[in-house]
Amino acid sequence: MADAIFDSRVEASAARDVTDLILQDILAGALMPGTWLKQVDLERRYNCTRPDVRRALDRLAQKRLVEHVPNRGYHVYEPDGRRAREVSEIRVILETAVAGTIVQNASADDVRALRKLAKHFDEATLNGTMLELYEANLAFHRQLLMLGGNIELVDLVTEIRQRTSSAPVSQWRTRARVEQSGREHHMMIDAIEHRDGTLFAELTRQHILQK
């Protein structure tokens, strides 16, 4: 009864941070929006202590991935259309702003590295979990932004990405859309190879807004 919302137990080492584990489960869709995260359940599922759980929940609440209701507990945020739109807008601003620098800085090695990560994403599309797909996508975009030369910006975009990912379903609604994303990655790399900053920026914009 207590484990009702968890069907698959994972043998997790207490060493690895609980916050990341819960985060991953939210991103992967294992913990649906609206779900109440009961402390006893989390304690058992991630094989950790009560303070560990509470620290993790507090961190996730700070990141606004879960909401804390006093004396009621923590629950996964419902997807917020406005917020998702605004975060996308911010991503467009930040990622297109460094598009020029990226195109300038990218060496042949960088392009090869990007190609490899894009392929990883494609493979995850075929036979991978939702989480693997998410992480492959993240790795590609991080590597891309890294060429912008602003490390803080890389971390910032990585961070705000998580803010709307409480709705992984609405993000990648269909398999067709995911495959389209994969193709867009390669188109973006092509634009970098041809040193076409304007095209790369426009592709980035469309890729984020998914139009």
Say if residues 200 and 103 touch (Cβ distance below 8 Å): yes
Question: How far is residue 9's CA from residue 30's CA, in Å, rounded to a whole number?
Answer: 12
Decide: is 12 part of the binding site for DNA (CB under 7 A): no
Say if residues 191 and 199 touch (Cβ distance below 8 Å): yes
Decide: is 70 part of the binding site for DNA (CB under 7 A): yes
Partner from a second copy, DNA, none binding residue 62, C-beta < 5-8 Å depending on class:
a second copy
Quote the Cα angle for 165-169-172, to 5°.
Answer: 90
Site for DNA in 31-60 (CB under 7 A): 36-40, 49-52
Question: How far is residue 94's CA from residue 99's CA, in Å, rounded to a whole number?
Answer: 9
Binding site for a second copy (CB under 8 A): 55, 58-59, 62, 82-83, 86-87, 89-90, 93-94, 97, 150-153, 156, 160, 163
Tell me how far, at minimum, the Cβ of 114 lies from DNA, in Å.
38
Kindly state the tokens that stand for 180: 């389209």
Nearer to a second copy, 24 or 150 (CB): 150
First to last CA, the chain: 43
- Residue in 7, 11, 15, 72 binding DNA, rule: CB under 7 A: 72
Tell me how far, at minimum, the Cβ of 78 lies from a second copy, in Å.
16
Tell me how far, at minimum, the Cβ of 89 lies from DNA, in Å.
33
Which residues have CB under 8 Å from 204's CB, separation 6+? 92, 95, 96, 99, 188
Tell me how far, at minimum, the Cβ of 24 lies from DNA, in Å.
20
Binding site residues, DNA, CB under 7 A = 2, 36-40, 49-52, 68-74
